[in-house]
Amino acid sequence: MTASSPFPPAPHPADPEPRVPPATLASLYARPGFKLRRAHQIALSVFADECRAFEITSTQYGILVALRERPGLDQVGVAQALGLDRSTTGMVVGLLEGRGFLRRDQHATDRRRRVLTLTEEGARLVEAIAPAAERARRRLLAPLSPEEAEALAALLDRLLGHHDALVRVPLMRPGD
């Protein structure tokens, strides 16, 4: 809360901040965060479109995949495996449980935990979605050549790797 003077940005020679020209819409469009928001929006949209028949979101799909590979994870394990918040995970897991795709049972010894496993139907679903998910991936990357797609993946990996510790929920391969 530094700005309480009636005069907006009077030139301050002693200001350590370099002069920053006023933001314009064009500069907004050029911001990487802006592009990433749009790209994410598009990725969600393409996935939802391809998986329309299953009425499932990419987040829900991620949880099913994680449980298919590692049955018996608890919610925190799922959250860490996918880089999700604990609360978010709890909500989405509750959704999937309500739709009968997974079960939550008490852990044998640690009663704080709920052990998550796919139901038969959940296992069937995650298998059935695979082609649609693959279609979504290809469609999202369609505008890029294979080399460009590779380059994009590499650049994003650089970004993620360096900022991983920064985000509250770093990605964590469970069980290794």
Partner DNA sequence: TCAAGATGATAAGACGACTGACGAGTTGCG
Partner DNA sequence: CGCAACTCGTCAGTCGTCTTATCATCTTGA
| Distance of closest approach, residue 90 Cβ to its own copies, in angstroms | 18
Q: Tell me which of 13, 14, 60, 65 binds its own copies, using CB under 8 A.
A: 65
* 32 binds its own copies, rule: CB under 8 A: yes
Binds its own copies (CB under 8 A): choice among 13, 14, 20, 146: 20
Query: How many Å apart are CA 42 and CA 39, to the nearest integer?
Result: 5
Within 8 A by CB and 6+ apart from 85, the residues are 79, 168, 169
Which residues have a Cβ under 8 Å from the Cβ of 149 and sit 6 or more positions away? 141
Q: Work out how close the CB of 15 gets to its own copies at its nearest, in angstroms, rounded to a whole number.
A: 9
Shortest Cβ 28–DNA spacing (Å): 13
Given a contact cutoff of 8 angstroms between Cβ atoms, the answer to whether 92 and 60 are in contact is: yes
Does the footprint of its own copies cover residue 91 (CB under 8 A)?
Answer: no
From start to end of 62-171, where are the E strands? Answer: 102-106, 114-118
**Residue 74 binds which one of DNA, its own copies, none, with CB within 5 to 8 A depending on kind?**
DNA
Q: Which is nearer to its own copies, 110 or 156 (CB)?
A: 156
